[in-house]
Amino acid sequence: MSIDLQAKAANSAAAAAPSSRQPATSAPISSVPAPPRIPGRRNPKWIALGVLALCLGALLSYVVYSRVAAEKPVVIMAHTLYRGETVEASDLAVTRLSGETVAKSLPASQLRTLVGQTAVFDLPEGTILTPGVIAEVAIPAEGHAVVGIKLATGRAPAALLTPGSRVRLVALPAAAAADSEVTDNLGGKTYQATVIDQAPGADGASVAINVDVKSGQAPTIATLAASDRLVVIRDPAR
């Protein structure tokens, strides 16, 4: 009887064994959690340099803006203009300036009003115009006259006879007549004059200049010029 009981117990254990097993696929898969990400370390030096660069950029932008905002357009000379010459539109230009110079300069809004007026002083190219350097000057002025003179080569320093130049007109002695001596006493006399303009003579060997002289001396100077008895001396600029 004990043998039967042992056999039944073995059969029961054998039958129960397959039912207690779980399929391999249904077993839970254990997973290891990923380690947390460690943020990269920030270098304080690079952060400080970045902040400094931003500050410098903002400061530079402010300086540029302030300078541009403070600049104002003013009139300058685009070409050299000599005293006594008439101003043309091509002689003028506009530039932007800032500082105390702006207050003393002619604003660009007055550019058109300057055209047609006369240069009171020699104005080299790039000169910043100020009030009074260009004005409505009448030539000749009251009590003066303009005389045209033709001078042969060697009678004048042609390269230095720029408009506005102060010169002296020196009278040469009169040539002796065939039968008697001319007795005028003009030889050696000098006359102050101001050059208005000049141009090469038509013959290519002379220069023609217009000079501003005193009205009372104009007839004598014209007579001496017609007789080819004048020499021009260039004096220092004043």
**Encoded tokens for 24:** 């391999």
Describe the chain by its helix, strand, coil percentages, rounded to 5.
35, 25, 40
**Encoded tokens for 164:** 């506005």
In which region does residue 177 sit, left (phi positive, over 0), alpha (psi from -120 to 50) or beta (all else)?
Answer: beta
Residue 35 has pLDDT above 80, yes or no: no
Q: What is the mean pLDDT of residues 220-229?
A: 92
Hey, is 106 helix, strand or coil? coil
Q: Which domains does the chain have, with CATH numbers?
A: 70-135 (3.90.1210.10), 144-234 (no CATH)
First-to-last CA distance in the chain?
A: 156
pLDDT score, position 11: 58
pLDDT score, position 7: 54
Average pLDDT, the chain: 79
- The 8-class DSSP code of residue 107 comes to B
Residue tagged 């002379």 (tokens): 206
pLDDT score, position 55: 83
Most confident of 28-42, 62-76, 174-188, 196-210: 196-210
Q: What is the mean pLDDT of residues 104-123?
A: 87
**Encoded tokens for 91:** 């002689």
CB 134 within 8 A of CB 114: yes
Percentage of residues in the chain with pLDDT exceeding 70? 74
Q: Report the alpha-carbon angle 30-36-39, nearest 5.
A: 165
Q: Peptide bond preceding 140: is omega within 30 degrees of 0, i.e. cis?
A: yes
- Tell me which of 4-13, 49-58, 112-121, 206-215 is least confident: 4-13
**Encoded tokens for 170:** 């020196």
**Encoded tokens for 150:** 């033709």
Hey, is 150 helix, strand or coil? strand
Higher-confidence residue of 74 and 48: namely 74
Residue tagged 């010459």 (tokens): 85
**Encoded tokens for 187:** 């030889």
Interatomic CA distance for residues 170 and 230, integer angstroms: 6
Q: Which of 80, 105, 103, 102 is nearest to 90 (CA)?
A: 80
pTM (2 d.p.): 0.53
- Tell me which of 19-28, 75-84, 113-122, 206-215 is least confident: 19-28
In the chain, the amino acid numbered 62 is: Y
Interatomic CA distance for residues 231 and 154, integer angstroms: 9
pLDDT digits (tens, 9 = 90+) for 87-112: 999 999 998 887 777 778 888 898 99
pLDDT digits (tens, 9 = 90+) for 133-174: 888 877 788 899 999 999 988 888 877 888 888 899 999 988
